[in-house]
Chain A
Amino acid sequence: MNSYTPPLQDMVFALEEVCNIRSFAAMEEFESFDPDDLHHVLAEAGRFASEVFGPLNKTGDSLGSVRNPDSTVSTPPGFAEAYDSYVEAGWGAAAFPLEYGGGGLPWAMGLALQEMLTASNLALSLCPLLTQGAIHSLLAHGSPAQKAEYLPKLISGEWSATMLLTEPHAGSDLGALTTRAERADDGSYRLFGQKIFITWGEHDMTPNIIHLVLARTPDAPAGTRGISCFIVPKFLPWQDGSPKMRNDIACIAIEEKMGLHASPTCVMQLGESGGAVGYLIGDENAGMSYMFTMMNNARLGVGMEGVGVADRAFQQSLQFARERLQGRRPETPAGKQSAIISHPDVRRMLLTQKSLVEATRSLCYYNATAIDLAKAHPDKSERAKAQELCDLLTPLSKSWGTEVGEMVASLAIQLHGGMGYVEETGVAQYFRDVRITSIYEGTNGIQAIDLIARKLPMRRGAVVKELLEQIATTAKEMPDELKTLREPLEEGVESARRCCDWLLAHPGDNALAGAVPFQRLMASLVGGWLLAVSSQASLRMLPAASGEEADFLRAKQVTAEFFCTQILPEACALEHAVTGGAELLYALAPEQMR
């Protein structure tokens, strides 16, 4: 019933037509990438994800990971074996550098692989995802010795990794963290403190876990400028180099959560007996800036989590809508019931789900393409432009991808009626699982602050304006067959421009007050644009297509039209909220609010 079918056709279409991934083959960085492999690689990875990770999603939810009295954590039955097969098959290495045993594929493809793992089993996929974050940090800032020691095993997935940022008094405000790191004589450090909410902080799937920990050295300046980043392995190397010595870091509790039951969310205690041995990455006090280098990848990955779960929820909705009989439509003979897919409102729900999934998928892949081009484009100014685009798109992908995850999963429950609220069908799990994605890796509110305070002001708003100009050009050049898309896109661009001007003219609380609605408006506009681009491509491809492919291409146009004419205008109406200012929000004093 709730199996997952990787949406290969749409994935390949988005990568080829929206992201132009074929052009990557000419870049030195991606010499091992053959565009003709795209479908085959995705198909095999998708088969693996849906057949090996997928079936464990529900048992993982009902059994969950369990902490034992000896501080170890046991994962649900089947998880360790599935993770082993993942390592064996080598999927985690696909988009990392050849130098460390990776496969050298573009990140856009790596992200597509992630989508399928995430959709199959969000809880399990978080383990390799956290590892990816650590790999990016080490690639960018690790010493040659650290890279040699950790990267091959992390890239192969033999070891997993975690991120220890959050503390009880330091969540969004990481500058407040208090975990201490004292210098030891041998050049290493001893860490003391407590971290909370640590995903996959302890488990039985790998023989070692490499924790990346943010902490403060004794004389560090206050706030985010005084944070350093350390490698704290669960097991330290013994004389023979094998990881045998238990480090002074332990999981002292795991949380009971709304969802993601199979992913252990750990309270990690460091330094109960002498201090956890840690090795500094890069320089002292530079930890926050190092976090920022991996942040684009990690945040985009979380946005993709939302999209993956949304797609799975949509697939299940569609199947249910075809099977559930309720009510009678005129074309159905008397005495029989019609499938609910024939009702207008059910159609509305399905098209809303479908268009949101496809729009956010395109956005996330496009964002990943910008990451790739920023790294690999032969022309320096193109690399710089791609980096700006990536910086701008990341908060949009993270926040909107995760919001869409929630919306589409919630619609799936609605579409299932009472059965959606009952655990048996599994759609409730999607909602419970995906709900966290708009909170971790920087809440969506924090993403919006990033958008307003760092991204919008890039080149005094010119980066955003250039993107809007590009959207306006697409709208203007829209062929007559697709003219219904023109007006909503043009209106979207106009209202986004007015919002930008207003926000730039009202920095501080006024801009911050409109940050989240602006983020939603911008993301929806970019999503609509990418769907319009898809529509143009499908128009171009249709004459040569037949059968199922032609159906797929025509559906692209329907999806784009539905999104641009019925969903985008709703987002554009947020202009009022964007430009409403802070005054009204503060009109009631805290004690007056009740």
Chain B
Amino acid sequence: MRQRHTHAQRRSSVARRDLPFRVAIRGRRQHNQGVKIAVCVKQIPDPANPGRLDADGKTLARDEKLILDESDSYGVEMALQLAEAAGGEVVLVSMSPTGEVGGIRTALAMGADAAVIISDDALAGSDALGTAKVLAAALRRTQPDLILTATESTDGYTGTVPAQIAELLSLPSVTFAKSVEVGSDGLLVRRQAEYGYDEVACPLPAVVSVTAGVVEPRYPSFRGIMAAKSKPTEMLTLAGLGLEPSEVGWTGARQRIIDVSPVPERGGGEICEDDGTGHERIVALLEELKVL
């Protein structure tokens, strides 16, 4: 029979065992209540359903129930692990033009402590920079020690928002984090790279984008779901953030969507029978593709 812990044993060992990195908060903690981590999260239409474009055919219809973007769940999980190990607080920051909160509730149910939601009709049509401006303004009010984001959203895929937030806030930007350690003198981030990983040290506060898949996001517990309702959720408008409608939305966007077209169907491919000269054909093909 396989070795198994009793439940109580397991529960207490969970945090330690599952932690892929060590978290050490010295110095900071003595002065502070622990680390305050903001996670920027996005709610998107469920990718399991066939997506639809809205009336003008330029953007994804977002009139249904929205869920937490899976790529954000890794940042939430990482923030929770950091806060659990070191003491501290996790605040979600999200821009949600429709006022929908289903996805935020999921992240709160996972264990985040509070949420700041920016909801305003004028936000519809915001491009990446517009989004970054809004999030940066909200983060300025929240004053976190560390800002986590995903590397890109699953419905938009621009992948530029994290660096834009950092630039707007004049903070260091570290991208594609595999693990994050918070120490007395700042951050130590292992950064995913093709050849392995970089170790990057930087002072806090900083903006770190978290690579999908580096931690295993927990499932919200039943109790977590019930508790999520009573967690502080602040709803802000543009005016509340001191932003002008002209800076965001369709009017503020510096990017124009000219056309949206379906991905072309994949062709059938070409099958070559190898009659002994197959290698020559392969070389010719590679040359054609200019890779040789």
> A: which residues have CB within 8 A of B?
5, 32, 34, 37, 39-41, 43-45, 47-48, 51-52, 68, 70, 72, 74, 80, 84-85, 87-91, 93-94, 103, 158, 204, 206-207, 547-548
Complex interface: chain A residues within 8 A of B229 (CB): 34, 37
**Which of A51, A68, A88, A89 has a CB less than 8 Å from the CB of B11?**
A88
Complex interface: chain A residues within 8 A of B16 (CB): none
* CB proximity of A325 to chain B, nearest CB, Å: 16
A85-B219 contact given A68-B1, A72-B1, A158-B7, CB 8 Å threshold: yes
A44-B220 contact given A37-B225, A37-B229, CB 8 Å threshold: yes
Complex interface: chain A residues within 8 A of B4 (CB): 80, 204, 207
Complex interface: chain B residues within 8 A of A48 (CB): 219
CA distance A119 to B263 in the complex (A): 35
Complex interface: chain B residues within 8 A of A70 (CB): 1
CA distance A356 to B257 in the complex (A): 46
CA distance A207 to B1 in the complex (A): 13
Report whether B219 and A44 are in contact in the complex, using a CB–CB cutoff of 8 Å.
yes
Report whether B221 and A89 are in contact in the complex, using a CB–CB cutoff of 8 Å.
yes
A-B contact count (CB 8 A): 66
- The contact sample of 9 A-B pairs, CB cut-off 8 A, is A37-B229, A39-B102, A47-B219, A51-B219, A52-B219, A90-B221, A103-B223, A547-B61, A547-B63
Report whether A90 and B11 are in contact in the complex, using a CB–CB cutoff of 8 Å.
no
Report whether A87 and B222 are in contact in the complex, using a CB–CB cutoff of 8 Å.
no
**Which of A34, A37, A44, A72 has a CB less than 8 Å from the CB of B106?**
A44
Report whether B1 and A204 are in contact in the complex, using a CB–CB cutoff of 8 Å.
yes
Report whether A40 and B105 are in contact in the complex, using a CB–CB cutoff of 8 Å.
yes
CB closest residue in chain B, given A547: B63
Complex interface: chain A residues within 8 A of B67 (CB): 43
Residues 1-28 of chain B: 1 if any A CB is under 8 Å from the residue's CB, otherwise 0?
Answer: 1101011001100000000000000000
- For residue B226, CB closer than 8 A to chain A, the reply is yes
Report whether B48 and A90 are in contact in the complex, using a CB–CB cutoff of 8 Å.
no
Name which of B6, B223, B225 has the most chain A CB atoms within 10 A of its CB.
B225
CB closest residue in chain B, given A104: B226
* CB proximity of A32 to chain B, nearest CB, Å: 7
**Which of B2, B65, B221, B223 has a CB less than 8 Å from the CB of A39?**
B65
CA distance A84 to B226 in the complex (A): 20
**Which of A40, A72, A204, A548 has a CB less than 8 Å from the CB of B102?**
A40
CA distance A85 to B219 in the complex (A): 9
Complex interface: chain A residues within 8 A of B226 (CB): 32, 37, 103
CA distance A52 to B221 in the complex (A): 13
Interface size classification for chain B:
20 to 34
CA distance A5 to B1 in the complex (A): 34
Report whether B225 and A40 are in contact in the complex, using a CB–CB cutoff of 8 Å.
yes
CA distance A89 to B226 in the complex (A): 12
- For residue B64, CB closer than 8 A to chain A, the reply is yes
CA distance A348 to B223 in the complex (A): 43
Report whether A74 and B2 are in contact in the complex, using a CB–CB cutoff of 8 Å.
yes
Name which of B11, B65, B221 has the most chain A CB atoms within 10 A of its CB.
B221
CB closest residue in chain A, given B9: A207
Q: For chain B, what secondary structure do more than half of its interface residues adopt (helix, strand, loop), or is it mixed?
A: loop
- For residue B109, CB closer than 8 A to chain A, the reply is yes
Complex interface: chain A residues within 8 A of B11 (CB): 88
CA distance A158 to B61 in the complex (A): 44
**Which of B7, B49, B220, B223 has a CB less than 8 Å from the CB of A87?**
B7
A103-B222 contact given A74-B2, A84-B10, A547-B64, CB 8 Å threshold: yes
CA distance A88 to B63 in the complex (A): 34
Report whether A91 and B7 are in contact in the complex, using a CB–CB cutoff of 8 Å.
no
Name which of B65, B102, B226 has the most chain A CB atoms within 10 A of its CB.
B226
Complex interface: chain B residues within 8 A of A43 (CB): 67, 102
Complex interface: chain A residues within 8 A of B105 (CB): 40
Q: A43-B67, A87-B7 are in contact. List 5 more A-B contacts (CB 8 A).
A: A34-B229, A47-B219, A52-B219, A89-B220, A547-B63
* CB proximity of B219 to chain A, nearest CB, Å: 5
* CB proximity of B98 to chain A, nearest CB, Å: 14
Report whether B222 and A94 are in contact in the complex, using a CB–CB cutoff of 8 Å.
yes
CA distance A41 to B223 in the complex (A): 10
CB closest residue in chain B, given A73: B1
Chain B, range 214-256, C-beta contacts under 8 Å to A? 219-223, 225-226, 229
A548-B64 contact given A5-B48, A84-B10, A158-B7, CB 8 Å threshold: yes
Complex interface: chain A residues within 8 A of B7 (CB): 84, 87, 158, 206-207
* CB proximity of B146 to chain A, nearest CB, Å: 27
* CB proximity of B45 to chain A, nearest CB, Å: 10
CA distance A45 to B219 in the complex (A): 9
CA distance A32 to B225 in the complex (A): 12
Complex interface: chain B residues within 8 A of A90 (CB): 221-223
Complex interface: chain B residues within 8 A of A34 (CB): 229
- 6 residue pairs, one from A and one from B, having the closest CB atoms: A90-B222, A89-B221, A207-B6, A158-B7, A48-B219, A90-B221
CA distance A246 to B63 in the complex (A): 58
CB closest residue in chain A, given B8: A158
* CB proximity of B233 to chain A, nearest CB, Å: 14
Complex interface: chain B residues within 8 A of A32 (CB): 226
Report whether A44 and B2 are in contact in the complex, using a CB–CB cutoff of 8 Å.
no
CB closest residue in chain A, given B1: A72
Report whether A44 and B48 are in contact in the complex, using a CB–CB cutoff of 8 Å.
no
**Which of B48, B219, B225 has a CB less than 8 Å from the CB of A41?**
B225
CB closest residue in chain A, given B61: A547
CB closest residue in chain A, given B67: A43
* CB proximity of A48 to chain B, nearest CB, Å: 5
